A = this chain, B = another copy of it.
Amino acid sequence: MNTTRKITERRLNRMIQVLKRRQPDLTVVLENVHDPHNVSAVLRSCDAVGVLAVHLVYTIEEFPDLSKNVSGSALKWLEIIKHKDIQDCYDTLRSQGMTIYTTYLADPQRSHDLYSLDLTKPTALVFGNEQRGVSEEASRLADGNFVIPMMGMVQSLNISVACAVTLYEALRQRRAAGHYDHPKLSREEISTRLHNWLQREKRSIEELQKLI
């Protein structure tokens, strides 16, 4: 009983620290990414760099079932926002002041190099399906396009790899600029989210105790 209590308190502090580092002005859009292994790796990376919300545009594929995947658990630390189409998604992002960049590999000439982007600004990053990539529409309606430089023979990276490399470049830039040093969420936003997280934790601790 006491141990559970202590764990909960350490975890509570952890959650608060994590919420204080969340970056509401950095987000990821997944367009029809369908492999559950990839999606769950993407969500882990999002949580790790402090992404608050992930946007989903699933017009062709369905969002995969992550329940069988242990590491799918990052899902519970993220806000998941579903959109009916790309226009709807971009409207939401633009209303939040985001610059939208797609990873449209079909036209590398018209792309920025990842390392030339200023990712300390409010940014939404769009990643595409394993086979088809980002749709032409998503690319056309975006503010710009970027590619991760590739020096080898293969033509593209795995999507979860591409997303992580991009997010970690954002983390590198943002950490240097002090973005993780002061909370970006308001006190109210932090406590609402903390409340939600704790509800889930409590539930799972209760479930755990039933098993003991």
Contacts and interface: CB of A to CB of B under 8 A. Distances in A.
Interface of A: 14-15, 18, 21, 37, 40-41, 44-50, 71, 73-74, 77, 115, 148-154, 156-158, 160-161, 164-165, 168-169, 171-172, 175, 180
A153 B15 contact: yes
Nearest to A131: B70
A23 B122 CA distance: 35
A43 to B, nearest CB: 9
A153 B115 CA distance: 27
Contact of A157 (B15, B48, B153, B158): B48
A199 to B, nearest CB: 15
Nearest to A14: B153
22 contacts: A18-B152, A18-B153, A41-B157, A41-B158, A44-B156, A47-B152, A47-B154, A48-B154, A48-B157, A49-B152, A50-B151, A77-B152, A115-B172, A148-B168, A149-B175, A151-B171, A161-B164, A164-B165, A165-B165, A165-B168, A168-B168, A168-B169
A133 to B, nearest CB: 14
Query: How many subunits of this chain does the assembly comprise?
Result: 2
| Listed residue (A48, A156, A160) with the most chain B CB atoms within 10 angstroms of its CB | A48
Contact of A45 (B41, B74, B153, B157): B157
Contacts of A14: 153
A18 B153 CA distance: 7
Contact of A161 (B41, B153, B156): B41
A53 to B, nearest CB: 13
Contacts of A156: 44
A191 B73 CA distance: 48
Contacts of A50: 151-152
A41 B74 CA distance: 20
Given A165-B168, A172-B115, A18 B158 contact: no
Contact of A151 (B40, B115, B180): B180
